[in-house]
A = this chain, B = another copy of it.
């Protein structure tokens, strides 16, 4: 019996691609094993459970997304940075729907603390440097941005905007413009 060369790494990577193809929920160990031409039980030498597989896919996605965001906002500030951040986020979700869905997979606190999620939080806050908001307004704004990004992209991915004009891209651009204006004039800020 020839060995296929399974690895935790390879399984997670293939799992992420599988998720993009057929959906994160459907990216099961059983299906993954089928893709590798291997029995399901064989995966358990590399991954301890379906939960671990999902968690690792989520961590991979968070990492990839954080890398792309970091590259996009480097050297930008203010509205430029805001738009670059937002577009990377949305483009990633549209290009990799399964991985993006994985991003929302609930992580236990320690795992979350060690994940790229904290980079996301830091980078979101970095965006606001261009808008000098005092605390606690800054935290409120961070939460608003996170909500809009994740909410808009989530709704779009779920088909929420598919049956109505205008194009989601147009609303996206307009909304980012509005957010920029809002951040510049946040009520209660100095």
Q: Is A26's beta carbon under 8 Å from chain B?
A: no
Instruction: Name the distance in Å between A159's Cβ and chain B's nearest Cβ.
Output: 7
Q: Is A165's beta carbon under 8 Å from chain B?
A: yes
Q: Is A46's beta carbon under 8 Å from chain B?
A: no
B109 and A174 contacting across the interface, CB-CB below 8 Å: no
From A2-10, A27-35, A137-145, the one touching the partner chain is A137-145
In the bound assembly, the distance between CA atoms of A161 and B163 in angstroms comes to: 32
Q: Is A92's beta carbon under 8 Å from chain B?
A: no
In the bound assembly, the distance between CA atoms of A166 and B137 in angstroms comes to: 10
Q: Is A114's beta carbon under 8 Å from chain B?
A: no
What is the chain B residue whose CB lies nearest that of A187?
A: B181
A181 and B178 contacting across the interface, CB-CB below 8 Å: no
Q: Is A71's beta carbon under 8 Å from chain B?
A: no
Produce 1/0 per residue, A173-190, CB < 8 A to B. Answer: 011011001100111100
Q: Which 6 A-B pairs have the closest CB atoms?
A: A151-B151, A147-B151, A147-B152, A140-B174, A140-B171, A182-B182
A residues lining the B interface (CB < 8 Å): 104, 106, 109, 112-113, 136-137, 139-141, 143-144, 146-152, 154-155, 158-161, 163-166, 168, 170-171, 174-175, 177-178, 181-182, 185-188
